[in-house]
Structure 1
């Protein structure tokens, strides 16, 4: 009888979004790239990570047209790529193809070395922001991981193996929840409700991001204003406003404004504000063009930017969502995860949770928020007072850390 593998993904985001004025880099994917960029492993996997992000977002947007969306494509990719180290045959192929990798082009070594280097960059000490990710394997004390799998997850994914008594499901649940709470700076608590008694292995991935705006909003300018959820629903939200120069693109078709809002350091928030009633048109357009295409059209512009102050969270059933993207066998009795323990295993559950906080905090004094306003003409007002899309990118890695949609900013 197959032993059930319980696979659990937790990721948390704590970010303080702030708006500033320039994009430090963009993805170079033409033949004129320098040799250094061509051979860097983390750059080789970046396009695949982006494809996975667009595909999953489009799927969720179609399934939940009126709901908030939030997830970390990078976190999901990291965890399932780590799982693929123990997968074989069709199970292995489905996982990598589902994550956006063409297995006829990518070698396993290319993918694993790419994620290894990516993790090294993500987890190096930073002055301007908090950004870290952690992988862990909670292993039943009665089973033994295969030596190669154990060495590979440690080498490529910096994962630690933690002995766990899954026969005492309550104790095991508390042990895992405590780990997640600690790694997410207390943001995600009691995430795991229960554990199946047949569980022998829990795979955990956490990611924490605490960003500081390059230019903070002045809290004194935050006002209660209307947010138009849809044509018939209006709600009051605390709206932050700042005037300054940002990289902006006005896209006539399908009708949206794209604004680059950098943090201190090497991350940036890209806000996509569809014209009224155009949210789903913009989302459909993103299936055919990459965000990079639109960001290339950005130019410095003086604008008055308004964004709601909000907190949203979202939980995804990855077993359901990834199965629709072709990752099926790993969740079924056809799973071949024999590279983990040598015993028959399958993934019985996969959960992904994200939390996003947006507020005014930044390291700059309030008076500094007016620096750079030099024009006397009235600037255009980019007012996020209706549903919008956002993406948080790591500029050095050319990777999407988080992406989502805000339909209801206050719940």
Structure 2
């Protein structure tokens, strides 16, 4: 679980600083001395450990995290939750088939032939670890499906998302304003009010909304003394100088640097979660740095960093981001699910597709620690309305008007009326 970074940012670096202590030894010592909460004190440790297959899926998911981040290039501050997107796509993939399913699995896990059983088991394990990990760090992951009244999911699909993703499935009347309020209230509740809403409008013709929410609240293992925070210069993306509240402390952290960037790892609580901060070297842009990062480097990072005495300065800040995921995910290979050709035959008998996928995320960095939250929503619509035809009567027993139209342009060629009289 230590590989699951909320910000999805990591890299391999050549270790520096003179120390003989290897990071892996330190991590092993930390793990062996973990104090678990009451709820899991009697649990088998293997219950909270990923299998090799599950770890492989997480590693490949990290590559998706890096890929997704690179689609958001720009000069503004931003934060996204790739894991939240992965959970939502995982739920969708359980109801998909053919090209639609292949594309989604390739995007989030790099393998279109990935077993759904393994993928589901991996996400179920992540849910367990989030609920039963560091008692000093709160990580809540929640899944939810709102169904428009009258629309039904297949029982096997409902059973899978309920058991493996702990997803609550609920029927609502999308034509009522109460449905929109209820969905947004769920977002607010599951993110401790950091994300008060996710959808501005609900179309009565939509059939379902799938949601994932992640809430993170961690206290630094080594907090920044507030008395050290000073207003200091910060060089912006375009080299403009800004004033920021700069936190400061000096102590031992795991650190590494190379010819592209330096990195420091800041642990939360008992160390199960941490933030890795990557600082490009002078003359190296964030885009250039991120383009060279791979999942392989991410996996090696844990072994390459070494303990150093770090004079650390980090801005205190808050960032909120709202993005549409249709274009980024299409660019990463998942195109079909957003089209009328989508195959979600495992989800419902009706032809459906993902009309919109969006995410809102927020992060707050302070002297005490980090709060972060994200909600990802997928709106499901019918590819074509398959309503039963109405039974009506049309008895032309009274005067009527008629037209003759050209079908493509709807131009009226003739117009007349009939009142019962004939020539």
Q: What TM-score results when the alignment is normalised by the length of structure 1?
A: 0.76
User: Relative to structure 1, is the Cα distance of residues 121 and 42 closer, same or farther in structure 2, using a 3 angstrom cutoff?
Assistant: farther
* Structure-1 separation of matches of 2:336 and 2:57: 24
> Which residue does 2:326 correspond to in 1?
319
1:337 to 333, 344, 354: 344
The C-alpha deviation readout for 1:259-280, integer Å capped at 9, x for no partner, is: 0111113001001111123123
CA-atom RMSD, angstroms? 2.6
1:361 to 368, 372, 380: 368
- Would you say 1:245 and 2:252 are equivalent positions? yes
> Which residue does 2:97 correspond to in 1?
88
* Structure-1 separation of matches of 2:295 and 2:97: 32
User: Relative to structure 1, is the Cα distance of residues 362 and 333 closer, same or farther in structure 2, using a 3 angstrom cutoff?
Assistant: closer
* Structure-2 separation of matches of 1:264 and 1:69: 25
> Which residue does 1:272 correspond to in 2?
278
Displacement after TM superposition at 1:294 (Å): 4.2
1:128 to 128, 136, 157: 136
The C-alpha deviation readout for 1:176-214, integer Å capped at 9, x for no partner, is: 000100000011113321112211100010000000000
The C-alpha deviation readout for 1:125-167, integer Å capped at 9, x for no partner, is: 6521110100000011212211100101011111011111112
Which of 1 and 2 has higher RCO (CA within 8 Å, sep 6+)?
Answer: 1
- Would you say 1:74 and 2:83 are equivalent positions? yes
* Structure-2 separation of matches of 1:140 and 1:226: 52
1:192 to 185, 195, 199: 199
* Structure-2 separation of matches of 1:81 and 1:299: 35
Displacement after TM superposition at 1:41 (Å): 5.1
- Would you say 1:263 and 2:268 are equivalent positions? yes
1:293 to 287, 290, 300: 300
Displacement after TM superposition at 1:46 (Å): 1.2
Equivalent residue pairs, number: 333
User: Relative to structure 1, is the Cα distance of residues 84 and 289 closer, same or farther in structure 2, using a 3 angstrom cutoff?
Assistant: closer
* Structure-2 separation of matches of 1:161 and 1:131: 22
* Unaligned ranges ≥5, structure 2: 1-5, 8-20, 29-45, 375-423
Displacement after TM superposition at 1:68 (Å): 2.0
SS in 1 for 2:333: coil
Larger Rg: 2
* Structure-1 separation of matches of 2:238 and 2:173: 53
Q: What TM-score results when the alignment is normalised by the length of structure 2?
A: 0.74
Displacement after TM superposition at 1:67 (Å): 2.1
* Structure-1 separation of matches of 2:116 and 2:302: 31
- Would you say 1:224 and 2:231 are equivalent positions? yes
SS in 1 for 2:184: helix
* Structure-1 separation of matches of 2:55 and 2:358: 28
> Which residue does 1:174 correspond to in 2?
181
Decide whether the 8 Å contact of 2:134 with 2:269 is kept in 1.
no
* Structure-2 separation of matches of 1:231 and 1:89: 45
* More off after superposition, 208-217 vs 122-131: 122-131
> Which residue does 2:58 correspond to in 1?
46
* Structure-2 separation of matches of 1:110 and 1:210: 29
The C-alpha deviation readout for 1:85-121, integer Å capped at 9, x for no partner, is: 11111111111111123133x2111111111112111
SS in 2 for 1:172: helix
User: Relative to structure 1, is the Cα distance of residues 258 and 292 closer, same or farther in structure 2, using a 3 angstrom cutoff?
Assistant: farther
* Structure-2 separation of matches of 1:38 and 1:288: 17
* Structure-2 separation of matches of 1:289 and 1:57: 16
> Which residue does 1:117 correspond to in 2?
125
* Structure-2 separation of matches of 1:227 and 1:141: 52
* Structure-1 separation of matches of 2:134 and 2:166: 18
User: Relative to structure 1, is the Cα distance of residues 225 and 128 closer, same or farther in structure 2, using a 3 angstrom cutoff?
Assistant: same
SS in 2 for 1:211: strand
Decide whether the 8 Å contact of 2:100 with 2:336 is kept in 1.
yes
* Structure-2 separation of matches of 1:222 and 1:229: 19
2:107 to 98, 109, 117: 98
Displacement after TM superposition at 1:353 (Å): 1.3
Displacement after TM superposition at 1:38 (Å): 8.0
Decide whether the 8 Å contact of 1:38 with 1:44 is kept in 2.
no
